[in-house]
Structure 1
Amino acid sequence: MRNLWIFLSRYNAFFFFIIFFAAGIILTIRNNVYQRSVTFGSTNEIVGTAYKRLNVIKRYLNLVQVNDSLAAENAALKTQLLGIASIDSTQITKVKDTINHQQYTLIAAKVFKNSVTLTNNILTINKGIKDGIAKDMAVISLGKGVVGFVQNVSENFATIRPLLNQETAISVVLKKDNAFGSLVWGDNNFDYRKAYVKEIPNHYKVKVGDTIITSGSGGFPRGIEVGRVTNTNLSTGDSFMTLEITLFNNFSTLQFVYVVKDKFAEEVKSLQPEVKNEQ
């Protein structure tokens, strides 16, 4: 206390100056309309600017929640477009289906690890067994196009074998005439923007610009646009043609994907051994 008193006594002139200066400013503002309006205007501008910058910081810190919310909303819209009955961004919701037409359910997930430069690329997403993810489920993108298949699943995460992997093949068709083919990647050209459709019979008339869509096989809903034909002159030397397509989906910027739960996947899978035996 003694040291404080000595400090105040030594600098009392400075403190008296501050007190009288502040009092003078307050009296000037209170008793003069112009000074009062200028002061309030400046104060409001300073406070407004401070709140604006604070809100920018808060929005940045909340980007994760905002992105998750947008993914769920976009998933709901995509669900309606595909004619699917239900969607939940965190888990599969059981919906009473009296007409037994609910075939697909979409689960929104975030990609937090990705690659496009390898010959066998792998994605990792933040959803796993507890969210209803299972091996071999189909995966589609937030925009246009297919992504791939679930490869491995843990409790909270899953890896995806994308189209940009030489072990991936997806059943597709020409949109205009339903000619079936197999969508693959690579073929000596490992461009993440390109892919190839093989096994299209030569008698089909394919033109540059034709659209490729999913066939409805392999867990993918039918009609998802995959890409556009850019080259029809790739000869295979047999009765089938190979088409080069430009993918609608940009794998280098994937942030959110939809894992597709097919209600009839197990039933179809159980028939596959019987089909092989019949052949």
Structure 2
Amino acid sequence: MRNLLIFITKYNAFFLFLIFEIASFIIYIKYNSFQKASFINSTAEVTGNLYARTDELKGYLSLRDVNDNLVRENARLRNQLKTSLYLDTAGKKRVIDTNYKQQYEYIAAKVINNSVNKRNNYITIDRGSNNGIAKGMGVITDAGVVGKVVFVGPHMAIVQSLLHKDTRFSAMLAAHKEIGYLEWGEDVDPHKGLLIDVSNNARPKIGEQVVTSDLSLFPAGIPLGKVSKLNAKGGGFFLNMEVALAVDFSKLQYVYVIVNRFAQEQAGLEAQEKKDE
């Protein structure tokens, strides 16, 4: 306290000047309408800019929550798409409103680890068996196909990326409906795939869309990419062609895991068929 009094006493002239200056400024503003209006306008502008910057900062800090909510909402909407349903014609005569039954469900997940520069690339997501994830499920984004689940823990799962030498999905030319297989090319380019074993009857064009077929573990029609080069090497009696992949794997943030309600039944029947051969 003593030091404070000494400091004030030492600089009393400065503090008096400051007090008189502030008082003069207040009187000047208060009793001059033009200056008062100018001061209020300037203050309002400064305050408005401050509020705007504060709001932008709050918006930036809440982007993750907004993105999470949007992804969950997209998953809910995908569950309502007709591609997620199957037509139960057997029940048509009884109850018309139940012709379409849910076949596919979508679980939103966040990418927490990813690689694109290896020969065999994997993606880690923050959803596991506790969230309904199981091995063999397909994984997509809004842009297209990402890969399939290969390892599952209670809280996380590992996805074998489309950028993997052993990944192969049934695919078709969207315009011609000719079916083949999409796999990753040997040149390890994260933007290119290879559509192989397409019938010679097909007449594909550069830019034609390549999508999943009814024979894949995905709903039909999900984008895989677009034809970027015809007559790729190694075709033999079939057509091979390069495909510009639909998904930019270096920018993955959120994905959707596809739950096929009939997958287990189909796998069981196909396994029984193999036993009988």
Superposed CA offset, 1:196-234 (max 9, x none): 122222233333333221113343011112122222313
Q: In terms of mean alpha carbon deviation, does 250-259 or 236-245 score higher?
A: 236-245
In structure 1, what is the equivalent of residue 241 of structure 2? Answer: 243
In structure 2, what is the equivalent of residue 118 of structure 1? Answer: 118
In structure 2, what is the equivalent of residue 28 of structure 1? Answer: 28
1:79 is displaced (CA, Å) by 4.2
CA 1:157–1:269: 2 relative to 1, 3 Å: same
1:130 is displaced (CA, Å) by 2.0
Pair 1:254 & 2:256 matched = no
In structure 2, what is the equivalent of residue 72 of structure 1? Answer: 72
CA 1:273–1:26: 2 relative to 1, 3 Å: same
1:78 is displaced (CA, Å) by 4.1
Structure 1 distance, partners of 2:230, 2:124, is: 34
CA 1:33–1:121: 2 relative to 1, 3 Å: same
Aligned partner of 1:155: which letter? P
Please tell me whether the aligned partners of residues 124 and 158 of structure 2 are also in contact (alpha carbons under 8 angstroms). Answer: yes
In structure 1, what is the equivalent of residue 169 of structure 2? Answer: 170
Please tell me whether the aligned partners of residues 129 and 155 of structure 1 are also in contact (alpha carbons under 8 angstroms). Answer: yes
Please tell me whether the aligned partners of residues 142 and 256 of structure 1 are also in contact (alpha carbons under 8 angstroms). Answer: no
Please tell me whether the aligned partners of residues 82 and 221 of structure 1 are also in contact (alpha carbons under 8 angstroms). Answer: no
5+ residue gaps, structure 1, are 86-96
Aligned partner of 1:246: which letter? A
Residues 91-240 of structure 1 correspond to what in structure 2 (within 5 A)? 101-143=101-143, 145-186=144-185, 188-236=186-234, 238-240=236-238
Please tell me whether the aligned partners of residues 171 and 181 of structure 1 are also in contact (alpha carbons under 8 angstroms). Answer: yes
The alignment's TM-score, normalised by the length of structure 2, stands at 0.87
Structure 2 distance, partners of 1:211, 1:81, is: 21
Aligned partner of 1:11: which letter? Y
Percent identical among aligned pairs is 41
1:251 is displaced (CA, Å) by 1.5
In structure 2, what is the equivalent of residue 91 of structure 1? Answer: none
Structure 2 distance, partners of 1:2, 1:61, is: 46
Structure 1 distance, partners of 2:45, 2:203, is: 67
1:68 is displaced (CA, Å) by 1.1
Secondary structure, counterpart of 2:207 in structure 1: coil
Please tell me whether the aligned partners of residues 139 and 146 of structure 1 are also in contact (alpha carbons under 8 angstroms). Answer: yes
Q: Which runs of structure 1 show a deviation greater than 6 angstroms over 4 or more consecutive aligned residues?
A: none
CA 1:7–1:203: 2 relative to 1, 3 Å: closer
In structure 2, what is the equivalent of residue 50 of structure 1? Answer: 50
Structure 2 distance, partners of 1:165, 1:127, is: 21
Secondary structure, counterpart of 2:177 in structure 1: coil
Q: In terms of mean alpha carbon deviation, does 255-264 or 5-14 score higher?
A: 5-14
CA RMSD in angstroms, aligned pairs only: 2.2
Secondary structure, counterpart of 2:16 in structure 1: helix
Aligned partner of 2:167: which letter? T
Structure 2 distance, partners of 1:278, 1:173, is: 30
Secondary structure, counterpart of 1:167 in structure 2: coil
Secondary structure, counterpart of 1:234 in structure 2: coil
Please tell me whether the aligned partners of residues 113 and 124 of structure 1 are also in contact (alpha carbons under 8 angstroms). Answer: yes
CA 1:101–1:200: 2 relative to 1, 3 Å: same
Superposed CA offset, 1:148-172 (max 9, x none): 1011122222111011001111111
1:82 is displaced (CA, Å) by 4.7
Please tell me whether the aligned partners of residues 235 and 241 of structure 1 are also in contact (alpha carbons under 8 angstroms). Answer: no
